[in-house]
Amino acid sequence: MKEEHRQDGPKKYGMVIDLDKCTGCGSCMVACMSENNAPFREDESDKLLSVAWLRLYKLTNGKPYPDTDVCYLPRPCMHCEGHNGHSPCVSVCPATATDYDSATGIVSQIYTRCFGCRYCMAACPYHARVFNWWDPVWPDGMEKYLNPDVSVRMRGIVEKCSFCYHRLQRAKDKAYAEGRREIREDEYQTACTQACPAGAITFGDLNNPKHAVYKLRKSPRAFRLLERLGTNPKVYYLSSREWVRRAGDNYLADEATGAGKHMAEHKG
Amino acid sequence: MKVGRRRFLAFGIGGAVGTALTPLPWKLMDDISIWTQNWPWTPVPPKGVVSHVNSVCTLCPGRCGITVRKVGDRVVKIEGTKGHPVNDGGICLLGLSGPQFLYGPSRVRSPLKRVGKRGEGRWEAISWEQAVSEVAKRMGELRAKAEPHTVGCLLPEDRGSVAQLFARLLTVYGSPNVMRRPSIEDTYEMALYQTHGIIGRPGFDLQKTTFLLSFGSGYLQGWGSPVHMFRAHSHLLSNSCRVVQVEPRLSISAAKADRWMAVKPGTEAALALGLCHVIVKESLYDKAFVDKHCQGFDAWTDEQGQKQPGFKELVLGNFTPATTAEITGLKQADIIELARNFAKASRPLAICGRGNGSVPGTLGEFMAVYALNALVGSVGRSGGVLALPEAEYLQWPAPEMDEVAAKGMQQQRLDGAGGDKYPLARYRTSYLAALLKGGGYPLKMLLVAGENPVYDLPGSTELKKALADIPFLVSFSSFMDETAAMADLVLPNHIYLERLEDVPPVFGLPKPLLQLCRPVTAPQFDTRHTGDVIIQIARALGGGVAAAFPWPDYESCLKQVLGGHFARLHKDGYLEGRVPELRFETASGRFEFINTEYKAKPAYTPVIPQGDKGVFPLVLTGYDSMRLAGGAVADSPFMVKSVDDTVLKKGDVLVEVNPHTAGQQGLAEGDAVVLATPAGRARVRVHLSHRVPPGMVAMPRGLGHTAYDPFIGGKGVNFNELIAPVPDPVSGLDAAWGIRASLTKV
Amino acid sequence: MSTVEEKSQEVTEEQPDDATPVDPPEPPPATEAEPKGGILPAFLIGIVASLIVGWVVFPQLLYSKKRQPVDFNHAIHVREVGNDCAGCHYFREDGTFSGIPKLDKCVECHAEPIGISREEADFIEKYVATGTEVPWYVYAKQPPCVFFSHAAHIKMGHMECATCHGDIGESEHARVYQENRITGYSRDIWGHNISGYTRHTWESMKMADCARCHQKENVHQSSVQTKKGACFVCHK
């Protein structure tokens, strides 16, 4: 019996976002909000209070017209692995309302367990976590579109991107019903990945050489956000522009980016 | 036994000890914590059977295939259909917003009749029978007075069965005033006719293009079929193709391109002709194609025996790199390099039509871009621009007009399109405000379906006043938009998720694509398909009008006019046509650089922004963003939520101003200013940005709704309140790329 | 906290030291006059009373009792429909579990009465004829934060329905549904015994019950922080 329950090797779900393809259109944001029952209020222009799991940051090279350049950067939860699963946010939670699953590499967030101390928000270097200052309210009749696969969050708790974990649960259900234990790459895709009109987001198991993300993250264009903090994030970005890769971390003026180094090695 | 203090204490202590030996405290604590985790006011979405229904998104002209996820009978999520020829699984944020539109608070829930003053927002819910009979009564009265031509109709498009039902109704009723808002599709149509002699629209074979040169087209901001364009762009990147964007502002299309050519605003056509100059001069053009398929490259003699200059002369004489550099503000070397790279690419393609394509632009510019494509042989070949002839897929029984109708139809159109002055134009609705005030005759009744002119047409402040003077305004809107809010009657249509309707071919796709929008859910409110309502109005009018509408309802009408297509469309959702072969139907039977009949030719026609430079030292231009739906459909609450705080902050829109200009004007980031133009004035805030050149103010289209609900309305300023149309002298269509403006600190 | 305890404290507090009579029916005598021997009995009475309240009265107050809208006979259905539980509680193609059947499933057989029972006639008249879904009370209903996969347990884990649901399939009458007045959930979740003590796996359905079995069977014990089951296995 025990033998049968053993997982077929741990997964490490991760994402690669191609910033050359990303147009900053915001479809990933709305796909996420629609899939994950995000609330909305009349004024959402204060982004510190706006409940969004995935946000788009605008980067600019800071040069004057016409040498200026901009690039959008979608930022879901990075699902940091840290060192052996000790992500910044998970390590500080006093309620064990968030944990790191070594079988999937996903950082959970259990709303009913969270009591809203917001320590995790302070610990997260990516601002990936948001606090619900208000109870969610849907205008009469609008609650009809809510997704039963995702819990509706109440006031006073912290929430964040779950890599659409419920889609993995759904995919597993289907696989189990068909007598399979393994799920295919295309069976578990996050809502943002699925929606992206530019096809800029790739999602899959970073441990699995057959998955697209496995190769993509080794691209010379790849970099991660604030990599040197040791957060070991599972979201990778691709950009052919050096200034964008530099914007991903705090580099000294004469320092090459990780990707730059890769490229040098690549050419050498 | 007497109960004393000590005994009480003992009893109490005993009680406490006993209670601790019961599960009560622990159970109660557990229950209370569960209660706090499940507040009764937090909704719990009910579970149910999950199903997926395919249909088409008609929120924008892109027409993506959608797969609607339902739980029980609730619409929960909209996803792009995998393998669909338009979007292959991708979907934009407007398409994703479907469920918010379906269940949103701005839906009109039953027919409404105005009871207060116009625009006051006081309504009486009426029955459909009363609504239909009131429209028919009004129309009947005007027809009895022999004034049927004073009834107008404003639609988003003229293709498709509902638009044609409206046109049919007005034809047999006796009015030529079916109007549609023109866009770049109109200019492309004209350019195609002038160069190919074909009535139809262009298709762009982007999957096979190796070099995309865009003259200001916001190919990543809603131009053409948005998701199709996104996918095409990603495809180009994956195949290491080059993309060059020619545009004064660093739009996202410019930022994503390999090269951004920051031209002076409004000079894109000059660059196109400048590139032609280099290509011709350096003999880089596709001689085989030009010799075999083109007319008017060299000088020619027309039918009257007059000598006409050829395109070669035209570009060689006027658009030297030096001249072009001066007009466009680019470097000569960059122009020459671009021309060489473009001509040497294996399958280059040039596109035009600024922003998301809502402003038609000048015919000269479109013909210049067509000429550029022809020079490199990218006309009618894979990876180039294709001509898709207009194929009428609906078969209507010929309507019979009675005497009143025939007389009414002989009246000049109110917008003068197709008349002596602008013979090429089919619609000139951009000038509606001026036409309503000073047209040939007053409009006494206007039917608006699928459009929101009060918000969406340039000069909306003036238009609002002009529309208020129309005695009877009927809106068929599903939402309480700005036009519906002003109407006398609102006859709410089902939204696309509740509707069966044909979806005419999409602009820009390389193949004709006919689709069918199928209902994914039962109507949520007491709404009615506009197609049904038109038939009912016609029947109520009686006589010859009723005779032209023999169908009991819209569905049977659609089945009849779609004929054999219906069954296949109903099964598969779409029908793909073939890529037509290269052919030209001009007088010469060739691609005409300069049209032999109309003499329309590639040209740089400077469009001067309206306004006095002394009063208005700056120039205001609008920009498009996918996060703001600029057209007849408003944003969803989710879309508003996605808007950056450098675009919208609280209720204020931020306009982009170059820091250099801001410094001259003494303006800092976030300053509240009055933005004034000859068309209007509004309070905005300043956002310092290097994306715009000095002297320019850039403002997003799509904000400033005044109707709808508080999640959508009351945010920022409507760009259309500040702009006014400027006609292209040849086509008569609006070609305004900007307007003079001033910023004053408040 | 116990209500009895509260009451007793209130009384003690309100009782003034100067022995002013506050309790009209039985004015307490001065403290000094109180016989010392009454303390132990009072203590014992306190214990006994609170034990009765905690073990007997409290459960009675905590749960409201509701009759199922239809007195459903599982035994006869298992017999007649066949295919064990799966005759009515089946897996859908996408791997989800149908749970309590909807009316259309009942109508497959009960469009017309097939028996002679009063209960069936009532059911047909009230629900089938009007097309109204039966508002069943669900004994095993879990809070919205819970994701429970029947497929994982039945299809992959090869567990018996009875392991969690007991012998409900053999019942001839619908049990009274007891709803926790505070949480709104069924008594079956906590278990019938107010102490939470259970002898069989089907007697309670709390998180601890899931966790216990998962730990025993080594299912997904991959949480780095708890060294036990990861949160995102059963939660959503």
Q: Does A219 score more than 60 pLDDT?
A: yes
Tell me which residues of chain A, numbers 98 to 137, contact chain B at a CB-CB cutoff of 8 Å.
Answer: 111-112, 135-136
Mean pLDDT of B693-703: 97
Mean pLDDT of B42-59: 96
With contact defined as 3+ CB pairs under 8 Å, the chains touching C are A, B
Q: Does B546 score more than 70 pLDDT?
A: yes
Contacts of C149 in chain A (CB under 8 A): 169, 172-173, 176
Q: Which chain B residue shows the shortest CA-CA distance from A28?
A: B93
Cα B249 to Cα B262: distance, rounded to the nearest angstrom: 7
pLDDT at B216: 97
A116: left (phi over 0), alpha (psi -120 to 50) or beta: left
Flag whether C179 is in a domain.
yes
Return the residue in B60, B63, B96, B692 with the most chain A beta carbons within 10 A, the one to mutate for interface testing.
B96
A34 touches chain B (CB under 8 A): yes
Q: Are A259 and A220 in contact (CB under 8 A)?
A: yes
pLDDT at C5: 44
Flag whether C93 is in a domain.
no
Where does chain A show beta strands of DSSP type E?
13-18, 55-60, 70-75, 130-131, 158-159, 201-205, 222-223, 235-238
Q: Do C182 and B22 touch (CB under 8 A)?
A: no
Flag whether C215 is in a domain.
yes
**Shortest Cα–Cα distance, C211 to chain A (Å):** 15
Matching residue, tokens 């036009």: B483
pLDDT at A8: 64
Return the residue in B74, B256, B258 with the most chain A beta carbons within 10 A, the one to mutate for interface testing.
B256
Contacts of A47 in chain B (CB under 8 A): 645
Mean pLDDT score of chain C, rounded to an integer? 86
Cα C213 to Cα C223: distance, rounded to the nearest angstrom: 16
pLDDT tens, residue by residue, C121-151: 999 999 999 999 999 999 999 999 999 999 9
Cis preceding-peptide flag for A66 (omega within 30 of 0): yes
Contacts of B40 in chain C (CB under 8 A): 184
Q: Do C232 and A101 touch (CB under 8 A)?
A: yes
Cα B397 to Cα B54: distance, rounded to the nearest angstrom: 31
Q: Do B12 and C40 touch (CB under 8 A)?
A: no
pLDDT tens, residue by residue, C91-127: 999 999 999 999 999 999 999 998 888 999 999 999 9
Tell me which residues of chain A, numbers 64 to 93, contact chain C at a CB-CB cutoff of 8 Å.
Answer: 84-86, 90
Residue B631, amino acid: G
Residue B35, amino acid: W
pLDDT at B695: 97
- Quick one: which of C106, C101, C161 has its CA closest to C128? C106
Flag whether C67 is in a domain.
no
Tell me which residues of chain A, numbers 196 to 215, contact chain B at a CB-CB cutoff of 8 Å.
Answer: 196-200
pLDDT tens, residue by residue, B76-101: 999 999 999 999 999 999 999 999 99
How many beta carbons lie within 10 A of that of residue B113, not counting itself? 15
Q: Does A264 score more than 60 pLDDT?
A: no
Which H or E run includes C180? strand C177-180
Cα B562 to Cα B516: distance, rounded to the nearest angstrom: 10
Cα B57 to Cα B497: distance, rounded to the nearest angstrom: 8
Residue B717, amino acid: V
Q: Could you tell me the two tokens for B579?
A: 């890529």
Tally of structural domains, chain C: 1
Q: Do B21 and C47 touch (CB under 8 A)?
A: yes
- How long, in residues, is chain C? 236
Q: Does B107 score more than 80 pLDDT?
A: yes
Nearest to B37 among A34, A35, A112 (CB): A112
Q: Which chain A residue shows the shortest CA-CA distance from C95?
A: A174
B25 touches chain C (CB under 8 A): yes
- How long, in residues, is chain B? 746
Q: Which domain holds residue C215?
A: 138-193+200-233
Q: Could you tell me the domains of chain A? A: 3-267 (3.30.70.20)
Total CB pairs under 8 A between chain A and B: 198
Q: Which chain C residue shows the shortest CA-CA distance from B24?
A: C54
Q: Is C132 helix (H, G, I), strand (E, B) or coil?
A: coil
Mean pLDDT of B250-262: 97
Partners of B68 in the β-ladder: B53, B78
Q: Are B183 and B366 in contact (CB under 8 A)?
A: no
Q: Are A104 and C230 in contact (CB under 8 A)?
A: yes
Q: Do B47 and A148 touch (CB under 8 A)?
A: yes
- Quick one: which of B718, B653, B648 has its CA closest to B464? B718
Interhelix angle for B268-281 vs B332-344, to 10°? 70
With contact defined as 3+ CB pairs under 8 Å, the chains touching A are B, C
Q: Do B234 and A37 touch (CB under 8 A)?
A: no
Flag whether C72 is in a domain.
no
With contact defined as 3+ CB pairs under 8 Å, the chains touching B are A, C
Contacts of A56 in chain B (CB under 8 A): 642, 644
Distances (CA, A) of B403 to A162, B215, B398, B606: 69, 49, 16, 46
Flag whether C116 is in a domain.
no
Instruction: Grade residue C167 by pLDDT with cuts at 50, 70 and 90.
Output: very high
SS (H, E, C) B361-390: CCHHHHHHHHHHHHHCCCECCCCCEEEEEC
Tell me which residues of chain A, numbers 173 to 192, contact chain B at a CB-CB cutoff of 8 Å.
Answer: 191
Q: Are B164 and B554 in contact (CB under 8 A)?
A: no
Q: Do C194 and B50 touch (CB under 8 A)?
A: no
Flag whether C189 is in a domain.
yes
Nearest to B34 among C12, C183, C196 (CB): C183
Contacts of A147 in chain B (CB under 8 A): 45, 71, 76-77
Q: Could you tell me the two tokens for C217?
A: 């069977």
Q: Do A84 and C224 touch (CB under 8 A)?
A: yes
Q: Do A2 and C217 touch (CB under 8 A)?
A: yes
Q: Does A3 score more than 60 pLDDT?
A: no
Q: Does B9 score more than 70 pLDDT?
A: yes
Cα B58 to Cα B46: distance, rounded to the nearest angstrom: 29
Q: Do B262 and A66 touch (CB under 8 A)?
A: yes
Partners of A101 in the β-ladder: C223
C12: left (phi over 0), alpha (psi -120 to 50) or beta: alpha
pLDDT tens, residue by residue, A28-58: 999 999 999 999 999 999 999 999 999 999 9
Flag whether C48 is in a domain.
no
Partners of B215 in the β-ladder: B246, B352
Contacts of B17 in chain C (CB under 8 A): 43, 46-47, 50
Q: Which chain B residue shows the shortest CA-CA distance from C6?
A: B12
pLDDT tens, residue by residue, C172-222: 999 999 999 999 999 999 999 999 899 999 999 999 999 999 999 999 999
Matching residue, tokens 């109960």: B3
Whole-model pTM: value is 0.93
